[in-house]
Every structure is written in structure tokens, then in C-alpha cells.
Amino acid sequence: MAKPIFILNGPNLNLLGLRQPEIYGRETLEDVAEACGALAEDLGLAIRFQQSNHEGQLVDWIHEARGAGAGIVINPGAYTHTSIAILDALNAFEGPVIEVHISNIHKREAFRHHSYVSLRAEGVIAGCGTEGYLLALRRMKTLVAR
Ligand code: CA2
């Protein structure tokens, strides 16, 4: 069985589709998980889709991906802009990492313009809505085949 792509989501993304649709759209995180599952099947990839509001839990999942995951797609939520712990964990992961943001963080407040995770990510997708997850999976297919 091929190693899965870990798709990790950070704090407050469980509220997707329930609040602030003008920024984050109307799809729920469950809708995103389903769409990722369907695309992954088409691409012949296995995925593990998870969300946590806790930094340490995200760090633990990144550790689990070491040896067990083919790649990581991560939307770290607000931890993008604050978490050296998540950056350090990603630096200990051997496979490709793609960072996803639903909104265009560069068009928003200045504090969202810096990402610690971007120091590690092979690719960054921002401002493509929840379709960004699907774009990330397509890119992941290319990266894991190398
Ligand atoms: O655009 C993104 O995907 C973000 O990672 C989302 C984070 C934000 O802190 C980042 O700067 C950019 C926030 C996630 C909160 O998600 C919500 C969704 C619906 C309602 C409320 C929050």
C-alpha cells in the first residue's frame, strides 16, 4: 500500500463554510475532505485528512508523517504566521511539503504576509479558495513521482 499524503489543517478551519463566507467561501471542511478524497482516487494517491485547533497535535501529526507519509499538504491556519514549532517539525520531514491558504494572505493584513512554513514548503498556493487543496494534490502527484 502506497504511503498517504497527509493533508493537515490548523486552527479554526473546522468553521469553514459556517462563518465569514466572503473570505473563506461556503464549502465546509468536510466538503473539502470529500473533494480531496475523490481527486486522490483519480490520481491514484492515498490521503489522510485531518484538522486540529492545537499546535502540538499538528506537530505530532507531522512527526507521524516521517517515514509514513509520501508528502504533506498543510494549511496551518494562523500558526502559519507564528509557529516555529511547526516549521521545525516540517524540517524533520523528508518528503515534499505544499502550503495552502484559502484566502490570498498577501492581500490581507500585514501580519499575514509572513509565513514560517514557506521557509520549508516546495510550493505555496494562496487565494484559490478551497480549490487550492486540489491544486496542491495535483502538484503532489508530480512531486512524489520524482
Ligand atoms: O487563508 C487561509 O487558509 C488561512 O490559513 C486561514 C486562517 C488565517 O489565520 C490565515 O491567515 C489564512 C484562518 C482560518 C480560519 O478559518 C475560518 C473559516 C471560517 C470562519 C472562521 C474562520
Instruction: Look at residue 1 and tell me whether its pLDDT is greater than 80.
Output: no
79 is catalytic: no
Q: Distance between CA 31 and CA 111 in Å, rounded?
A: 29
> 48 pLDDT exceeds 80?
yes
- Give the predicted TM-score (pTM) of the model: 0.97
Is the Cβ atom of 132 under 6 angstroms away from ligand 1?
Answer: no
Is residue 131 classed exposed, middle or buried when 0-12, 13-18 and 19+ CB atoms within 10 A define those classes? middle
Structural domains in the chain, CATH included, are: 5-145 (3.40.50.9100)
Distance of CA 2 to the CA centre of its chain: 20
Cα-to-centroid distance, 68 and ligand 1 (Å) = 27
Percent of the chain past pLDDT 70, that is, above it, reads: 99
7-33 pLDDT, tens digit each? 999 999 999 999 889 999 999 999 999
Using CB atoms within 10 A of its CB, is residue 107 exposed (0-12), middle (13-18) or buried (19+)? exposed
Check if 75 has its Cβ closer than 6 Å to any atom of ligand 1.
yes
